[in-house]
Amino acid sequence: PAARKYTGMVEDCCCDYETVDAINEEVLHPILQELVKLPFFRYFKVKLWCDCPFWPDDGMCKLRDCSVCECPENEFPEPFRKPYNGLSPDSMMCQEGKPQAAVDKTLDSKVFKGWVETDNPWTSDDETDNNEMTYVNLQLNPERYTGYTGDSARRIWDAIYKENCPKYPSEELCHEKKALYKLISGLHSSISVHIAYDYLLDESTNSWGQNLPLLYDRVLKYPERVQNLYFTYLFVLRAVTKAANYLEQAEYNTGNPEDDLKTESLVKQLLYNSKLRSACPLPFDEAKLWQGENGPELKQEIQKQFRNISAIMDCVGCEKCRLWGKLQVHGLGTALKILFSVDGDSHMNQPLQLQRNEVIALFNLLNRLSESVKFVHEKGSSIEEVIEEQ
């Protein structure tokens, strides 16, 4: 096997590259691959037809593969159609005030009280706007090459990086802004990895396969992009393990007891896996953030920037890219909510409450990152050796 290129700790995280690859390949990847195929995690509620709030839509999409196939009414699970029966958001406000900047690393043990429709301060979509939402079967709409490129795609990435998380001029940027940049860059790497993993190699014969030069040119050539992918993976993994009590108690009901038992069992296997817990007990240490005296203001500022990124997803000019862009940003917003769920305005620590769709986005995002980490690990050093030899 080729020499390992990335060694030591993943920057700003608490696990090393070797451990991440081992737990990903032995534990997380196999569980997540099964989990996302089950009905609970397969259907994502999304508003796909939405006006871009920033500029007129000039989306150019070359392939038919850009369009998303939506689910007919009778396909998605019955319980997803019913209104929520959880408590109203008001009755769940925690009355006990805590300084906003302090990050509590534990979560209440009796945590799941039914799915709710509470707004996430980190994201822009209004989940209660059910009329415009459709369910999409993610298994039928894989994230892969779509032909979406050129000025339209470039403008989205530029807007995200320039307006919301400019690349940090080394020491100048605080940890928190650097973390936001790295999360976005890691997600961008993951999107590029998926394009390279499932690429249209020959349009005339409709043959699909791996495009390794593209993987190298867009991701592997830039060590920072690989590092940021691992960072984002560990960040999201930390959110999932931090919310373990909540996620363990959550209802994964789709009306099919056999599938639902399997979902519950796989979720538990993932959350309480002994290998994961001993090898990488704290994938990311969120308590290190927001410690400065301007922590609360900084959090509001970054929350606003992330909400903007979430709104920019409405401007992605290719439907399938928009679906996966929205899902993954939603998943990141959910991770941010779990890790920093103190409400920006109320100066209160709120008990964690998640929407069903947030949990669906979170696990699907983790699965996508896990696939990217695996592919990068498998192909990383060997491609580089081939390219260096040429």
CA 368 to chain centre: 8
45 or 330: CB nearest ligand FAD: 330
Q: Could you say which of 21, 125, 127, 143 contacts ligand FAD (CB under 6 A)?
A: 143
Nearer to ligand FAD, 84 or 208 (CB): 208
Q: How many CB atoms neighbour CB 171 within 10 A?
A: 6
Backbone angles phi, psi at 331, to 5 degrees: -65, -40
Dump the DSSP string for 156-220. HHHIIIIII-PPP-GGGS-HHHHHHHHHHHHHHHHHHHHHHHSEEEETTTTEEE--HHHHIIIII
Q: Counting contacts by CB under 6 A, is residue 321 touching ligand FAD?
A: yes
Residue 14 CB, nearest approach to ligand FAD (Å): 22
Question: Which residue from 24, 100, 189, 353 is in contact with ligand FAD, where contact means CB under 6 A?
Answer: 189
Q: Which is nearer to ligand FAD, 144 or 175 (CB)?
A: 144
Question: Which residue from 100, 185, 227, 364 is in contact with ligand FAD, where contact means CB under 6 A?
Answer: 185
Given 19, 67, 137, 149, the residue binding ligand FAD (CB under 6 A)? 149
Write out the binding residues for ligand FAD, residues 190-249 only, by CB under 6 A: 191-192, 195, 218, 225
Integer Cα distance of 203 and 31 in angstroms = 34
Q: Which of 153, 215, 309, 359 binds ligand FAD (CB under 6 A)?
A: 153
Q: Per DSSP, which regions of the chain are E strands?
A: 43-46, 134-137, 199-202, 207-209
Q: Which is nearer to ligand FAD, 179 or 195 (CB)?
A: 195
Q: Measuring CA to CA, which residue among 261, 257, 235 is closest to residue 176?
A: 235
| Residue in the shown chain whose Cβ atom is closest to ligand FAD | 325
3-class secondary structure, 72? coil
Using CB under 6 A as the criterion, which residues of the chain lie in contact with ligand FAD when the complex forms?
Answer: 143, 145-146, 148-149, 153-154, 156-157, 185, 188-189, 191-192, 195, 218, 225, 316, 320-321, 324-325
